[in-house]
């Protein structure tokens, strides 16, 4: 079967954000009377650019990033858009704020011919639905995880952007509730921004924790969506029982790297400690172009043999 949804460019090099469930290779459906998860083979993913215009074209896309739990995916096409929306951490929403949902409700079913009837050729231009923020949904840690709106959201809107009154990304649409009430949801902008940051640069720690007894931790920084045109990269390590210290990363084949040696804990301290690694990337003018704080837990070496099935990147999700 085929699936359709919406998406939007987040970078001039052809990177597109959408929902994971729009391009998912796993779906839940009722099979033989029971809800089951089925694995699929994704044959191809097509992106329609400049829809509803003489320049409309269909381009093949590949998946370059995904987060199933967040329901966000990143696609790449060979196309340079004239405009794009860069996720930001500076969008703060309040109840009753105006928002606008952009996308393609019902996919190509709203394409009309010259006589005003439904056409089976081509695609429509995007639809824009206005509404307001009706609720800010929070998790058990009081973090906003979803934005509820009364803007009309229909099948096909999934993966499209929700914009605030200034045209900034206020979320990624992922769900609507049918049945007479206008209730729809978008992934909160801060969570979308976190997904975006994780792919702007590839930052990894080996191992992704602070060993006890102490051994070195290697940090690597490689280009992701953005080219790593850095004049300097540094990391500051700090902890409750550790005086903060700075390390400059050295240039490597694919990026920058350094070895971090965290000092031993003072005698008498037995409780596990958490450490922060504040990464800064400086551009050619010496200004900070990227900054992120990572939290690294202290792990006993005897526990490492348990071996988590999660890869190091997934284990680093708990970030500040």
Task: Please determine, for residue 97, whether its predicted confidence score (pLDDT) is greater than 90.
Answer: yes
Q: What backbone phi and psi angles, to 5 degrees, belong to 199?
A: -115, -5
> Taking Cα atoms as reference points, which of 210, 218, 316 lies closest to residue 262?
210
Question: What is the per-residue burial (b if ≥16 Cβ within 10 Å, else e) of 289-309?
Answer: bbebebebebbeeeeeeeeee
Stronger pLDDT, 290 or 84, i.e. the higher one = 84
In degrees rounded to 5, what are phi and psi of residue 216? -70, 155
Average pLDDT score over the chain: 84
Which 3 state secondary structure label does DSSP give 20? Answer: helix
pLDDT digits (tens, 9 = 90+) for 206-233: 999 999 888 999 999 998 877 778 899 9
Considering 6, 11, 158, 198, which one is annotated as catalytic? 158
Exposed/middle/buried for residue 157 (C-beta within 10 Å: 0-12, 13-18, 19+): buried
DSSP label at residue 197? H
The span from the CA of 218 to the CA of 68, in Å, is: 28
Closest CA to 220 of 256, 259, 167, 182: 256
Question: Is 2 considered catalytic here?
Answer: no
Report pLDDT digits (tens) over 98-147: 999 998 877 665 565 555 555 556 677 788 899 999 999 999 888 899 99
39 is known as an active-site residue: no
Cα gap 311→315, rounded to integer Å: 6
In this structure, of 73-77, 238-242, 283-287, 299-303, the range with the lowest mean pLDDT score is: 299-303
CA distance 29 to 240: 48
DSSP string of 258-314, one letter each residue: EEE-PPPPPTT--S--EEEEEEEEE-TTS-EEEEEEEEEEEEEGGGGGG--SS-HHH
What is the pLDDT, as a whole number, of residue 108?
A: 60
The angle at the Cα of 23, spanning 19 to 26, to the nearest 5 degrees, equals 105
Q: Beta 288-300 vs 210-212: how paired, if at all?
A: parallel
Q: Is 244 exposed, middle or buried (0-12, 13-18, 19+ CB in 10 A)?
A: exposed
Which ranges constitute the DSSP H helices of 215-280? none
Lookup: tokens for 52: 């509803």
pLDDT per residue over 36-78, tens digit each?
887 878 888 999 998 878 888 999 999 988 898 899 999 999 9
**3 state DSSP class of 12:** coil
Q: Residue 310, Cβ neighbours under 10 Å: how many?
A: 11
Question: Is residue 238 annotated as part of the catalytic site, yes or no?
Answer: no
| Helix or strand holding residue 88 (H, E) | none
Residue 29 pLDDT exceeds 80: no
- The CA-atom distances, in angstroms, between 69 and each of 38, 61, 66, 161, 270 are 17, 22, 9, 18, 34
Structure confidence at residue 315 (pLDDT):
42
Q: What is the pLDDT of residues 248-286, one digit of tens each?
A: 999 998 899 999 998 887 777 667 788 999 999 998 888
Which one of 151-155, 295-299, 313-317 scores highest in mean pLDDT?
295-299
In degrees, rounded to 5, the angle at the alpha carbon of residue 178 between the alpha carbons of residues 183 and 135 is 10
Higher pLDDT among residues 294 and 115, named by residue? 294
In this prediction, residue 228 carries a pLDDT of 78
Helices then strands, counting H and E runs in the chain, come out as: 2, 23
* Position 182 pLDDT exceeds 90: no
Instruction: Identify the bridge partners of residue 48 per DSSP, sorted by sequence position.
Output: 58
Alpha carbons 63 and 48: distance in angstroms, whole number:
15
Alpha-carbon distance 294 to 270, whole Å? 23
Residue 173: the pLDDT is 94
């Amino acid at each position: 079967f085929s699936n359709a949804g919406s998406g939007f460019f987040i970078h001039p090099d052809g990177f597109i954000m959408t929902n994971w469930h729009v391009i998912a290779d796993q779906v839940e459906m009722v099979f033989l009377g029971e809800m089951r998860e089925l694995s699929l083979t994704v044959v191809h993913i097509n992106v329609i650019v400049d829809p509803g215009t003489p320049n409309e074209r269909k381009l093949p896309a590949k998946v370059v990033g995904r987060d199933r739990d967040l329901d966000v995916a990143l696609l790449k096409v060979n196309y340079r858009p004239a405009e794009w929306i860069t996720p930001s951490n500076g969008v703060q929403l309040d109840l009753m704020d105006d928002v606008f949902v952009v996308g393609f409700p019902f996919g190509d079913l709203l394409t009309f011919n010259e006589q005003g009837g439904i056409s089976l050729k081509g695609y429509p231009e995007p639809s824009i639905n206005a509404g307001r923020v009706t609720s800010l949904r929070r998790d058990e840690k009081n973090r906003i995880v979803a934005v509820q709106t009364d803007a009309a959201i229909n099948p096909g809107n999934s993966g499209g952007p929700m914009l605030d009154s200034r045209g900034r990304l206020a979320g990624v649409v992922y769900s609507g509730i049918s049945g007479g009430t206008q209730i729809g949801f978008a992934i909160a902008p801060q969570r979308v921004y976190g997904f975006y940051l994780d792919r702007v640069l590839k930052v990894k720690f080996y191992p992704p924790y602070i060993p006890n007894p102490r051994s070195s931790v290697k940090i690597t920084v490689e280009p992701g969506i953005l080219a790593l045109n850095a004049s300097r990269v540094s990391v500051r390590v700090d902890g409750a029982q550790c005086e903060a210290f700075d390390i400059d990363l050295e240039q490597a084949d694919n990026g920058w790297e350094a070895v971090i040696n965290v000092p031993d804990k003072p005698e008498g301290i037995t409780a596990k400690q958490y450490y922060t690694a504040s990464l800064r990337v400086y551009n050619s003018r010496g200004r900070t172009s990227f900054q992120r704080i990572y939290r690294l837990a202290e792990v006993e070496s005897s526990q490492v043999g348990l071996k988590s099935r999660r890869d190091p990147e997934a284990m680093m999700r708990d970030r500040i």
